[in-house]
């Protein structure tokens, strides 16, 4: 089983991802998680590799984490070649895996 947590910046995605993690879902090795920061002193629970895929998708559509104004047709989603191979290997080490994008 895989969980994907999506949400706007400062919308509670870190809290939800941590709750899912505490319930037993694997979020990945600690070195891939964003370090705690003054904005989130208990941690973001967001993986660096997930951020890279998210940013690649946004860039493909002329957007950034803070603006989707250039997206165009909202029904069109595109992935870079790295994105196609991302979701399988990321959760391969656990039957329950979690990714979070709170950008």
pLDDT at 69: 83
- Alpha-carbon distance 81 to 67, whole Å? 23
- Alpha-carbon distance 71 to 66, whole Å? 12
Q: How far is CA 28 from CA 32, 53, 60, 73, 78, in A?
A: 7, 15, 26, 33, 25
pTM for this predicted structure: 0.67
What is the mean pLDDT of the segment spanning 40-57?
A: 87
Predicted confidence band of residue 60 (pLDDT cuts 50, 70, 90):
confident
């Amino acid at each position: 089983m895989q969980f994907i947590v999506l949400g706007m910046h400062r919308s509670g995605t870190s809290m939800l991802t941590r709750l899912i993690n505490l319930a037993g879902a694997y979020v990945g090795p600690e070195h891939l998680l964003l370090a705690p920061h003054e904005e989130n002193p208990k941690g973001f629970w967001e993986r660096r590799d997930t951020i890279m895929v998210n940013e690649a998708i946004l860039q493909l559509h002329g957007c950034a984490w803070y603006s989707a104004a250039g997206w165009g047709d909202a029904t069109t989603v595109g992935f870079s070649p790295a994105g196609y191979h991302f979701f399988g290997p990321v959760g391969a080490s656990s039957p329950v895996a979690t990714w979070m994008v709170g950008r």
